[in-house]
Structure 1
């Protein structure tokens, strides 16, 4: 449960404050409110990629257009403003941690450098999909403006 909640915290396109996470025997249940179906689906995808997660039941509701913003969403919006002002060292740490929490990527084989919000990924990946996924996860971290993904794919 903590790994999933932490993973969601690193991604700007999902709301950790508006999402409740429950865990039992490798099955994660997500509850709360998503801004749209894409955010709901992305929350499921991120949770599924956490090591130890076998299944995800996404019971989140999608807010209707024109509805008043919930207090949790207001807090999330304020938090995102603060998080976007983080420095390059913090962004690097967040990207490394994000890669570490996802079973489909390798934080150990990936070097992360950040300068003015631009993240450069270097290292080796076993597949093109792993390389692309690392770039996608990095680009979704709060404070990242751009990702230069120069990871080399080495097929064994």
Structure 2
């Protein structure tokens, strides 16, 4: 009888210790998720001015607070969802102010800015975006004609944009200081009827030479594909390991697959891209 009681007590004690250890492990994981999110490149760079609270319970994360733009709400969710140990994300973030009318000039400016700011060969911080009746004007400085053409290409790929006028100035090491000053003064002039953008997300980023974590890279890649018209409908999975991005899912054709590789390769922090997407037309032909 005593042995039975002793055995039962021992089992109960071991079970209690197991539960305690599990709870401690879960608590440590939740703390790690919250701290890692706050220390991520995206949160410290793009979301630094937003009021975001992160609460994790057994890997289920809830985001509350306010952000300046819809893009930031998406970016916060994608970053947290990409962290190790996260099971789900309940995004309760609210966007300050009223929603912009779809396809309005202000809406187009926000979308163009969102399309530009993750690409390393297009400096959103030095690019002014204006819009009038669906026609986008780009101003500012760029490092080369190739970068200028790329900015035009990216801006044209935003849904609702009718045309793009690229008035950006190519500034190289050979450009004289007085010419650079003149270019900046010209960029500061806004034509009547045009709308421009204030301090939005693309304006806070200029120096991106530091380390960028995998969760932030994954979030930026997903958001980039989402905001480009040519890739927004692609069912794409994204995984990042030490800066190497692997794409999965389906593409309508080879051109769409190649475009996804091109866009992702130009995202900050991406070292290389492994595109494993299946081409639907090719798959259908084999049946």
TM score, norm. by length of structure 1 = 0.88
* CA-CA distance at 1:64 after TM superposition: 4.2
1:100-119, Cα deviation, whole Å (9 max, x unpaired): 00111146500000000000
Which of 1 and 2 has higher RCO (CA within 8 Å, sep 6+)?
1
Aligned to 1:14: 122
Q: Which has the higher helix share?
A: 2
Mapped to 2, the partners of 1:62 and 1:76 lie a distance apart of 20
| DSSP-derived class of the 2:155 partner | helix
The match for 1:80 among 183, 197, 208 is: 208
Partner of 1:51: 159
Alignment of 1:58-137 (within 5 A): 58-67=166-175, 79-82=207-210, 85-106=211-232, 109-137=235-263
Identify unmatched segments of 5+ residues in structure 2: 1-108, 185-203
Q: Matches of 1:42 and 1:7 in 2, distance apart?
A: 12
Q: Which structure has the larger Rg over C-alpha atoms? A: 2
CA deviation profile, 1:46-89 (whole Å, cap 9, x unmatched): 101111111000011112442378799xx965x2214xx12101
The DSSP-based 3-state class of the residue aligned with 1:80 is: coil
Moved over 6 A (4+): 68-72
The structure with the greater share of residues assigned to strand is 1
Identify which of 138, 141, 164 aligns with 1:30: 138
Match of 2:148 among 40, 45, 48: 40
Q: In 1, are the aligned partners of 2:234 and 2:250 still within 8 Å (CA)?
A: no
Structure 1 residue 26: deviation in Å?
A: 1.5
Superposed CA RMSD in Å reads 2.2
Aligned-partner SS, 2:229: coil
Structure 1 partner of 2:106 = none
SS of 2:267 mapped into structure 1: coil
Q: TM-score, normalization: structure 2?
A: 0.49
Q: How many residues align?
A: 151
